[in-house]
Structure 1
Amino acid sequence: MFAAYVIVTTVAVVFNGGAAGTYLIGHDYPKAQADMKRVPRSWVPVLGALLAAGTVGLLAGFAVPVLGVLAATGLVLYFTGALVAHLRVGSRQLVGWAVFFVTAVAALWVNVAHTW
């Protein structure tokens, strides 16, 4: 179980860290996604900061397991909000969302299993 915890959490860190980076450096893709979902562009850095906080929390969870659980929970909530944003505008382009959401749920599951 420990190997699954490390692997899944590391994959979640890589995915969310990469996404946070694209949001925080001002890449065009997050801006286009914000426009498509009718989210103000001023939210893009905030969303990137939330992803970065989740990433750092998952990493901190290796030292303090409860932080990993809290970070994974936050990421699940973040991607639940992303689904709402997609559905609100009628977007059916959910493959990317599904990959991130499943990764966040898996990270939550392994972090809870490892912690308790």
Structure 2
Amino acid sequence: MFAAYITVTIFASLLNGSAAVVYLIGHEFPKAQADMKRLPRSWVPVLGMLLAAGSLGLLGSFAVPMLGTLAAAGLVLYFIGAVLAHLRVGSRKLVNWTGFSATAVAALAVSLGDDWS
């Protein structure tokens, strides 16, 4: 189980960290997504910071296990908000959301299932 915890946690951290970088460097994709969901573009850097915090929190779980659980839960809530934003505007383009949210849920599951700490 510990190998699964390490693998899933590092993968989820890298995936969300890469998304955070895309949001924070001012790439056009997150801006277009914000426009499509009718969200203010000023939210894009804030959303990027939330992804970055979740990514770093997952890595921090190797030192403080509860931090990883909280970070994974925060990412799950982030992606629940993302799907609600999609559905609010009638968007059914949820392929990216599915992958990211499944990774966050997996990180939360392995974090809650850790019986080695």
Q: TM-score, normalised by structure 2?
A: 0.97
Residue 114 of structure 1, CA deviation: 1.2
2:78 maps to amino acid? Y
Matched residue count:
116
Unaligned runs of 5+ in 2: none
Say whether residues 1:36 and 2:36 are aligned partners.
Answer: yes
Alignment of 1:96-111 (within 5 A): 96-111=96-111
Question: Match for residue 53 of structure 1?
Answer: 53
Q: Which has the higher helix share?
A: 1
Cα distance in 2, alignment partners of residues 48 and 56 from structure 1: 12
Cα distance in 2, alignment partners of residues 37 and 17 from structure 1: 22
> Deviation digits for residues 36-87 of structure 1, max 9, x if unmatched?
1111000000000000000010010111000000000000000000000000
> Deviation digits for residues 10-57 of structure 1, max 9, x if unmatched?
110111000000000000000000001111000000000000000010
Secondary structure class of the residue paired with 1:114: coil
Please, what is the CA RMSD of the aligned residues?
A: 0.9
Cα distance in 1, alignment partners of residues 62 and 95 from structure 2: 29
Question: Match for residue 67 of structure 1?
Answer: 67
Question: Match for residue 11 of structure 2?
Answer: 11
Question: Match for residue 77 of structure 1?
Answer: 77
Q: TM-score, normalised by structure 1?
A: 0.98
Cα distance in 2, alignment partners of residues 63 and 28 from structure 1: 35
Cα distance in 2, alignment partners of residues 16 and 3 from structure 1: 20
Secondary structure class of the residue paired with 2:42: helix
Residue 90 of structure 1, CA deviation: 0.3
In the TM superposition, structure 1's runs of 4+ consecutive aligned residues that sit over 6 Å from their partners are none
